Copies of this chain bind each other. A is one copy, B any other.
Amino acid sequence: MRDDETDPPGGADPAYGVYSYEGIATFAGLPFIADTAALEAARPDVAVVGAPFDISTTHRPGARFGPRALRALAYHPGTYHLDLEVEIFDELRVVDFGDAHCPHGMTERSHANIRARVNSVARRGIIPVIMGGDHSITYPAATAVADHYGWGKVGIVHFDAHADTADDIDGNYASHGTPMRRLIESGAVLGRNFVQVGLRGYWPPADVFAWMKEQGMRWHLMQELWERGSAAVMETAVAEAMDGCDALYVSVDIDVLDPGFAPGTGTPEPGGMTPADLLRAVRLLATTANVVALDVVEVSPPYDHAEQTINNAHRVIFEMLAGIAWKRRRTAG
């Protein structure tokens, strides 16, 4: 017998396969790039980076398995966006740039590595897409992005059930409930360009909201989305975030979705967004603003069922990629 493995025919990359479960699991079967030298050589438009870190969680951990799950367990049927009518990877070159190394139980080293790896992407003008990990990783990740685009020059739209603006929680200043405070205090992002969408429930307390107001932060409670609809709120949000900025960082805590759609997360809060609304909100940002980075955090696979949460997180990334692809095609056309 000869070495006659002609199936699938030559065009298909034998490493990544035809089916979502076949071959080696990179994000969406995209080419894998291990180090910065290769990244420099490839110069893609977007690089996906994992941040498998979850020890800053106050309730259910497990988000360390988020990047692995997004690569290995998501179902991705195709790459043509039905509403935008765009073939994503015809317009964008995207790679999987592996994980920032997160030593277990060690916050400082893990955060430093995340900042370094995201910076390796952003400093080349490549859009980093960061797969968390818990929300504490937004502090090093967004700082790394601001390092490139300029401190105070990047707006943020932050989807979440929680504001994550506490000063500390139980003495922990690197908690997943504090990263937005760190970002604003550091000056990497200005409060007036920091917009939150989807807040609800019973936290943080009033004094934290007072601090947020002092910083000029804006937030849109789920109550407002319930009353005005998500489309109207998003128009407001994008205007607020981009007021004086030309670069947008988008941070999606998957718990902005109702736990019925995204059970696989650490601090679930009933009464959240639907996937239909969230995906269109992300799309609006991608097609309207200059998105320079995206993170999707708090996907905790041990609490997921039938990959519901994983697939929602995957589609948030795909929706962003599709929107950016659509915008580029339009600009190019």
Contact = CB atoms under 8 A, between A and B. Distances in A.
Interface residues of A, number: 124
Interface in A158-175: 162, 169-172, 174-175
A112 B73 CA distance: 27
Contact of A36 (B5, B171, B263): B5
A15 B34 contact: yes
A106 interface: yes
Contact of A7 (B64, B79, B113, B172): B113
Interface stretch (A184-192, A237-245, A285-293, A310-318): A310-318
A116 B4 contact: yes
A182 interface: no
A266 to B, nearest CB: 9
B307 A268 contact: yes
A198 B222 CA distance: 22
A72 B72 contact: yes
Contact of A21 (B59, B175, B303, B305): B59
A199 interface: yes
A80 interface: yes
A32 B52 contact: no
A307 B222 CA distance: 21
Contact of A22 (B101, B107, B223, B279): B101
Given A87-B206, A172-B104, A21 B77 contact: no
Interface string A215-230: 0000001110010000
Nearest to A13: B34
Interface of A: 1, 3-5, 7-8, 13-15, 17-26, 32, 34-36, 50, 52, 54-62, 64-65, 67-68, 71-73, 75-83, 85, 87-88, 96, 98-107, 109, 112-113, 115-117, 119-120, 123, 144, 147, 162, 169-172, 174-175, 199-206, 221-223, 226, 258-264, 267-272, 274-276, 279-280, 302-308, 311-312, 315, 318, 322
- In order of increasing CB-CB distance, the 5 nearest A-B pairs are A78-B203, A72-B72, A260-B261, A263-B306, A61-B61
